[in-house]
């Protein structure tokens, strides 16, 4: 299902994160294809991974997040555009004690729903490092500073600095 309306568009182009979120919501049994890739939403999401925990801020909504379990490792690879199949294979090799595909699908669906990631056309081909044997990925949502962040949002770091 492809959603394309003025309400779900940015400058005339459909939002990739909305399209993916719609697929997840309307077809609960849908699994992400092994070749599917994601990326963070440019100029809307800033994140850093510290000691296997990702700290993520959606500067448009003012909501911030952290990850638990192997969520920081998954976030690093998803943000780099690694195909879902490569992430799944690396998790299987680490033999975690949870259902990998179901946990990964839930985690990705939550990232999409929170408008932190969108579909990507390209990215890294292989995972960045081996995952630590860990618990199921979990996204922790902090809405308590949403109003404060809306008043004074953090500025994303620009890739190119003016001369």
Here the tokens at position 28 are: 């609960």
Here the tokens at position 83 are: 């195909």
Q: How many domains does the chain have?
A: 1
- Which of 6-10, 14-18, 27-31, 68-72 is predicted with the least confidence, judged by mean pLDDT? 6-10
Average pLDDT, the chain: 76
Return the C-alpha torsion angle 54, 55, 58, 59, nearest 10.
-140
pLDDT digits (tens, 9 = 90+) for 32-41: 788 888 999 9
pLDDT digits (tens, 9 = 90+) for 79-123: 999 999 999 999 888 877 888 889 999 999 999 999 999 888 887
Higher pLDDT, 55 or 150: 55
What pLDDT score was predicted for residue 159?
54
Which residue, among 63, 127, 57, has the nearest Cα to 91 in the 3D structure?
127
What pLDDT score was predicted for residue 129?
82
Tell whether 146 is covered by a domain. yes
Tell whether 160 is covered by a domain. no
Pairing assessment for the beta strands 13-14 and 9-10 based on DSSP bridges: antiparallel
Report whether pLDDT(135) > 80: yes
CA gap 113, 103 in Å, rounded: 15
Higher pLDDT, 132 or 3: 132
Tell whether 155 is covered by a domain. no
Tell whether 26 is covered by a domain. yes
Higher pLDDT, 130 or 88: 88
Average confidence (pLDDT) over 64-81: 93
Tell whether 161 is covered by a domain. no
Tell whether 157 is covered by a domain. no
- 102 lies in which domain range? 6-150
Tell whether 51 is covered by a domain. yes
What pLDDT score was predicted for residue 119?
87
């Amino acid at each position: 299902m492809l959603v394309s309306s003025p309400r779900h568009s940015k400058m005339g182009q459909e939002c990739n994160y909305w399209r993916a979120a719609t697929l997840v919501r309307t077809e609960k049994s849908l699994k992400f294809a092994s070749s599917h890739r994601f990326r963070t939403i440019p100029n809307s999401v800033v994140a850093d991974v510290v000691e296997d925990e990702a700290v993520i801020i959606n500067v448009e909504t003012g909501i911030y997040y952290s990850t638990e379990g192997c969520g920081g490792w998954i976030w690093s690879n998803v943000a780099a555009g690694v195909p879902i199949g490569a992430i799944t294979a690396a998790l299987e090799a680490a033999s975690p004690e949870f259902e990998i595909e179901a946990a990964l699908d839930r985690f990705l669906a939550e990232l999409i729903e929170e408008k932190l990631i969108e579909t990507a056309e390209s990215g890294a081909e292989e995972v960045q490092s081996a995952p630590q044997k860990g618990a199921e990925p979990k996204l922790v949502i902090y809405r308590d500073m949403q109003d404060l962040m809306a008043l004074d949002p953090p500025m994303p770091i620009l890739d190119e600095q003016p001369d």
